[in-house]
Structure 1
Amino acid sequence: MLDYRAQTLLRTLIERYIAEGQPVGSRTLSKYSGLELSPATIRNVMSDLEEMGFIASPHTSAGRVPTPLGYRLFVDSLLTVRPLQGSELSEIKEAIQPDQPQLVISHASQLLSQLTAFAGVVVAPRRQQPRIRQIEFLSLSDKRVLLIIVTADGDVQNRILFTQRNYSPTELIEAANYLNQNCLGLDFDQVRARVVEELRQLRADMSDLMTAALDAGNQAIADTSTQYVISGEKNLLGVEDLSSNMTRLRRLFDLFEQRTGLAQLLELSSRAEGVQVFIGGESGIAPLDECSVVAAPYEVDGQIVGTIGVIGPTRMAYERVIPIVDITAKLLSSALSTP
């Protein structure tokens, strides 16, 4: 789409903006681009790039800044990925040791954060659904029932059910006894398969309660079956591009706490080969509109089981972050796989 001159000026503009964080003017482009162009020619090319949506002019400056579209073209076509320094590669290898499988996930997350000064995240291999030891119901006010699930490994999960009517303590005990008789030692999918016909035969309101309990319990267990490790969120407080808007930063930290949306994004990355880069609104997650996510899947014995990634501002050094994520994913795969 762009000729050599336009590509060179766009690449130079983005590289200078990433390095300095200030809108880039024609004088800077003339100095760093290596092109023998007049200021008027540079301004004309910049005007064309702005019209195509690759750069924008902030109101307070005569210089230009990259747009998400500009970053996308840069990452896809203009970026020269820089090989990792020997010290960085040694640090990754030292942190991800195959003889420490229990710690390797958290080490990988911390390492990504340390090397990039942004947030590092790892979605760990999904655990098998735990078996159920006991289910209890506790009546709350205003047609609400607290569901308490105790798993065979001692984990306790609570969920609030919103019901169509109030249930008496006797009814809740009856429902709990029924489920306990059918679910001891099984996971929720197995319980559902076993009692689906019986639930049809129960009176409607009791069937509704237990169906809701199975749905909520299954979700509660599913939430814990995916281990999600994030490190270095506080690094983003020091990123001027993000910290200048506290409302946006608060929404970003809410996303880290709730985790669901980000986990879904990283799940998409696990279905692709190699490093994926989501720039701004490409993630489809509003709190990440000013962020980029660089992610890659990792394997255990040839099977993709999880994703690692770095979350930072769109103004990040992609040529450095991409190989860090790539190498870490490969070393993590090696560390977790059978020798």
Structure 2
Amino acid sequence: MLNERAQILLKTLVERYIHEGQPVGSRSLSKFSGLELSPATIRNVMADLEEMGLVMSPHTSAGRIPTAKGYRLFVDQLLVIKSLRDEELHHLENQLHPDNPSRLVNAASQLLSELTHFAGVVVTPKRTGAVFRYIEFMALSEKRILLIIVTPEGDVQNRIIFTATPYSQSDLIEAGNFINQHYAGCTLDQIRGRIHTELKQLRQDMTTLMNAAIEAGGDAVNESSEVVVLAGERKLLDTLDASESLASLKKLFALFERKTKLLQLLELSRHAHGVKIFIGGESDNAAFDEFSVITAPYEMEGAIVGTVGVIGPRRMAYERVIPIVDVTAKLLSSSLSQQ
């Protein structure tokens, strides 16, 4: 626990570093903290904060900058959230009016980037009633089968099915042909409802295979239907400090390209109540070590269906970005529920 003097000095240091982007020295702390302290006293407090891992001294300067741990304490205990300006709120309300879901999600991502000058990110709602174009089975071994599903959009999903009964390749071709002939263009949920009454003419073991395929196929297509929409990633190029390495940005952009790890991180906030903040290494992914991610879940008719967020440097104006993410999530929820 920090005493009041140390809290004020840490708060001042973080705020000055966010504002100026330069290591903060004793003179600035004395000027902006409002405390009547000697430079020697301030240096002693800074030494204590450094020993606690809350600040650090870059080798190029006598001043100090906050660590990820220092930012965390600042956000959790010292931050004063600012309300959105009226023009920002009206801009969000005007852009996030009820429309089709894909337009709303893209608009939300663009607005988050536009208002924060960082990368805006939205996880889209999972599509229900997924349709397939065709299904194919391929034998991997006697009781391991590769299920290949192609959607109307051309997406290909694979799942491995483990079966109790061995199937020959001719059996698998027969099963695939039957499903494609009778059910192509139907949703997997529709097939699931019809399969019990319409497969009586097939052998029981073939019915078992098809049931397994529909279950696995439903999981595969539903998982693939969740998409990460990014906007403004290039703006992060303008946020690097001299003390930060371009290598960290390259890692982040590689993560953007794959999106799987990013989706896993954003999934964590789906179960959060309100805004969730990941600072640096708290995300358990090296690509985020120099960055912070601020997220909030959004709803449709009372059920959480996705996540909105902002990815930016650890040196960001948290008091402003947090309410932007929070309000965007709430407005998106309201618009989606009005459709």
TM-score category by the smaller chain?
0.7 to 0.9
Q: Distance in 2 between matches of 1:318 and 1:186?
A: 44
Over aligned residue pairs, what C-alpha RMSD do you find?
A: 3.5
- The corresponding residue for 1:263 is 263
Partner of 2:111 in structure 1? 111
Q: Which runs of 5+ in 2 are unaligned?
A: 140-144, 161-167, 197-201
Indicate whether 1:303 and 2:303 are aligned: yes
Task: Tell me, in whole angstroms, the C-alpha distance in 1 between the residues paired with 2:252 and 2:37.
Answer: 42
Residue identity in the other structure for 1:8: I
1:295 Cα deviation from its structure 2 partner: 0.6
Instruction: Tell me which residue corresponds to 1:15.
Output: 15
Select between 263-272 and 315-324 the one with higher mean Cα deviation: 263-272
Measure the CA separation in 2 of the matches of 1:88 and 1:326: 13
Q: Tell me the equivalent position of 1:225.
A: 225
Greater mean alpha carbon deviation, residues 296-305 or residues 214-223 = 214-223
Instruction: Tell me the CA shift for residue 95 of structure 1.
Output: 1.1
Does the 8 Å contact 1:275/1:322 carry over to 2? yes
Partners of 1:47 and 1:244 in 2: CA distance? 23
Q: Is the 8 A contact 1:242 1:249 kept in 2?
A: no
Aligned-partner Cα distance in 1 for 2:204–2:292: 48
Shift of 1:291: 0.8
Residue in 1 that maps onto 2:199: none
Which region of structure 1 is more displaced relative to structure 2, 257-266 or 33-42?
Answer: 257-266
Alpha-carbon deviations, 1:122-162, whole Å to 9, x = none?
112211141334224699xxxxx9975344xx222235789
Contact 2:98 2:338 in 1 (8 A): no
Name the residue aligned to 2:319.
319
Q: Aligned residues: percent identity?
A: 56
Query: How far apart in 1 are the matches of 2:178 and 2:99?
Result: 45
Write the letter of the residue equivalent to 2:135: I
- Cα 1:183–1:161 shift into 2, 3 Å: same
Deviation of residue 222 (structure 1)? 3.1
Taking the aligned partners of 1:291 and 1:4, their CA distance within structure 2 comes to 28
Letter in 1 for 2:31: K
Indicate the residue corresponding to 2:275 in structure 1: 275
* Counterpart-to-counterpart distance in 2, 1:108 and 1:273: 20
Q: Which amino acid aligns with 2:18?
A: I
Unaligned runs of 5+ in 1: 140-144, 163-167
2:281–2:288 contact (8 Å) kept in structure 1: yes
CA spacing shift, 1:223–1:241, aligned 2, 3 Å: farther
CA distance in 1, matches of 2:106, 2:243: 26
Residues 98, 201 of structure 1: CA spacing in aligned structure 2 closer, same or farther, 3 A cutoff? closer
Deviation of 1:83 (Å): 1.4
Q: What residue number does 1:93 align with?
A: 93
What pairs up with 1:1-339 in 2 under 5 angstroms? 1-99=1-99, 101-136=101-136, 149-151=149-151, 154-158=152-156, 173-174=173-174, 176-177=176-177, 180=180, 184=184, 185=186, 187=188, 220-241=220-241, 244-338=244-338
Residue identity matched to 1:239: T
Cα 1:200–1:234 shift into 2, 3 Å:
farther
1:22 Cα deviation (Å)? 1.0
Deviation at 1:286, TM superposition (A): 1.9
- Which letter maps to 2:227? Q
**Which residue does the alignment assign to 1:142?**
none
1-structure distance, mates of 2:276, 2:118:
17
Tell me the SS of whatever aligns to 2:121.
strand
How far does residue 228 in structure 1 lie from its aligned partner after superposition?
2.1
Number of residue pairs matched? 324
Cα shift at 1:284 = 1.4
Query: d(CA) in 2 for partners of 1:159 and 1:86?
Result: 46
Measured against aligned partners, the alpha-carbon deviations of 1:282-332 in whole angstroms (never above 9, x if no partner) come to 111221111101111111222221110000011101011011111111111
Shift in alpha-carbon separation, 1:335–1:186, aligned structure 2, 3 A: closer
**Any conservation in 2 of the 1:135–1:179 contact (CA below 8 Å)?**
yes
Q: 1:149 to 1:47 in 2, by over 3 A?
A: same
* CA drift at 1:177: 2.5
CA distance in 2, matches of 1:59, 1:215: 58
Aligned to 1:165: none
| TM-score, length basis structure 1 | 0.82
Q: Structure 2 CA distance, aligned partners of 1:310 and 1:280?
A: 14
Residues 72-110 of structure 1, C-alpha deviations (whole Å, 9 max, x = no match): 010011001111112211211111112454421111100
Q: In the TM superposition, what is the alpha-carbon distance from 1:180 to its structure 2 partner?
A: 3.6
Q: Quote the Cα distance in structure 1 between the aligned partners of 2:242 and 2:332.
A: 30
Q: Normalising by the residue count of structure 2, what TM-score does the alignment of the two structures yield?
A: 0.82
- C-alpha distance in structure 1 between counterparts of 2:245 and 2:154, whole Å: 38
